[in-house]
Amino acid sequence: LEDSAARSEVIEHYAPDGKKIRVGYIKLPSFYLDMEAASAGRSDYRSTTKDVEAILKDFSKKSIDIVVLDLAKNGGGSLTEAIDCTG
């Protein structure tokens, strides 16, 4: 699960007019869900949707201007998570 987990970083970029832009970059290698923990009713289960939501909340605190969601090497995974995360 850790190898498939969402990762993020903040990249500072300068626009042609010289304005600094803070880009929130999220790499998402797959859509994942800890089904065992979720079906057991645990609230701390890992999922794409929960992890991306936490990243976006963190980006909000950091005054990010643009968010990029990188799905280039995403091999798929949980259809439910793909729908929930992107919907």
pLDDT in tens, 57-79: 999 999 999 999 999 999 899 99
Cβ atoms of 37 and 46 within 8 Å: the answer is yes
Phi-psi region at 44: left, alpha or beta (left = phi > 0; alpha = psi -120 to 50) = alpha
CA angle 33, 37, 41 (to 5 degrees): 115
- pLDDT band at residue 7 using 50, 70 and 90 as cut-offs: very high
pLDDT tens track for 25-54: 999 999 999 888 888 988 888 999 999 999
Please state the pTM of the whole predicted model. 0.86
User: Smallest Cα–Cα separation from 3: which of 29, 37, 36, 35?
Assistant: 29
